[in-house]
């Protein structure tokens, strides 16, 4: 069993599905989830259980998700939507990276579902973690009101002082 804590007010439904899918695709294991909320302790607490035989593999997936990877398997939440009017503060992006190719599935806030695909420059090198990189991508999304939106975008990927990554539209 392991626990994931999300901030108070966060919608964890997309995250639960994303993490379950990632674990199933990577290890072949299923899992169960017990969801709870405690405002006094900071927010949403989800408890996940996996079969004992899969513990080592699932632990490796979780370690990789928490490691300092540039974008591969990164989960990024929108924190400022003023410059990105097609997403909201509850929009969450689930990234994957393969060399110079970056992709993400996203949703939440005004977005029912969305996809982006593009490139990262410089390409990811597992031996190096550059301080900055540039993302160029095309996105396609369906909003909650049924509107379909698409376009091209460029963003800077940078490391913030506490070690996390930030993507800022340019």
Q: What is the pLDDT of residue 66?
A: 56
Q: What is the pLDDT of residue 120?
A: 84
Alpha-helical regions (H) of the chain: 13-27, 55-66
C-alpha to C-alpha distances, 6 to 2, 48, 158, 164, nearest whole angstrom:
13, 14, 23, 16
CB 165 within 8 A of CB 71: yes
Q: What is the DSSP letter of 52?
A: G
Q: What is the pLDDT of residue 33?
A: 84
pLDDT values of the chain reduced to their tens digit, one per residue, 170 residues:
777 766 555 666 667 777 788 788 888 888 888 877 666 666 667 788 889 898 888 887 776 665 444 555 566 666 565 555 677 777 788 888 777 888 888 888 788 889 999 998 865 554 455 567 888 999 999 998 999 999 998 888 877 776 667 777 77
Domain locations in the chain?
2-66, 75-169
**Phi, psi (deg, nearest 5) at residue 10:** -75, 145
Q: What is the pLDDT of residue 25?
A: 82
What distance in Å separates the CA atoms of residue 101 and residue 39, rounded to the nearest whole number? 39
Q: What is the pLDDT of residue 127?
A: 46
C-beta pairs of 34-43 under 8 Å, 24+ apart in sequence:
39/8, 42/5, 42/7, 42/8, 43/5, 43/6, 43/7, 43/8, 43/9, 43/10
Q: What is the pLDDT of residue 126?
A: 47
- CB neighbour class for 105 (10 Å; exposed up to 12, middle 13-18, buried from 19): middle
**Phi, psi (deg, nearest 5) at residue 82:** -60, -35
């Amino acid at each position: 069993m392991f626990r994931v804590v999300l901030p108070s007010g966060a919608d964890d439904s997309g995250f639960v599905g994303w993490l379950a899918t990632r674990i199933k695709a990577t290890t072949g294991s299923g899992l169960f989830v017990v969801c709870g909320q405690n405002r006094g302790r900071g927010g949403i607490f989800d408890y996940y259980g996996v079969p004992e035989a899969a513990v080592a593999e699932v632990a490796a997936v979780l370690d990789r998700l928490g490691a300092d990877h540039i974008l591969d398997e990164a989960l990024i939440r929108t924190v400022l939507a003023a410059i990105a009017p097609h997403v909201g503060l509850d929009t969450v992006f689930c990234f994957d990276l393969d060399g110079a190719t970056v992709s993400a599935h996203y949703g939440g806030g005004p977005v029912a579902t969305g996809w982006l695909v593009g490139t990262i420059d410089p390409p990811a090198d597992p031996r190096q973690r550059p301080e900055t990189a540039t993302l160029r991508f095309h996105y396609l999304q369906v909003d909650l009101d049924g509107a379909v939106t698409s376009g091209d975008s460029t963003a800077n990927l940078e490391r913030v002082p506490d070690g996390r990554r930030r993507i800022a539209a340019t």
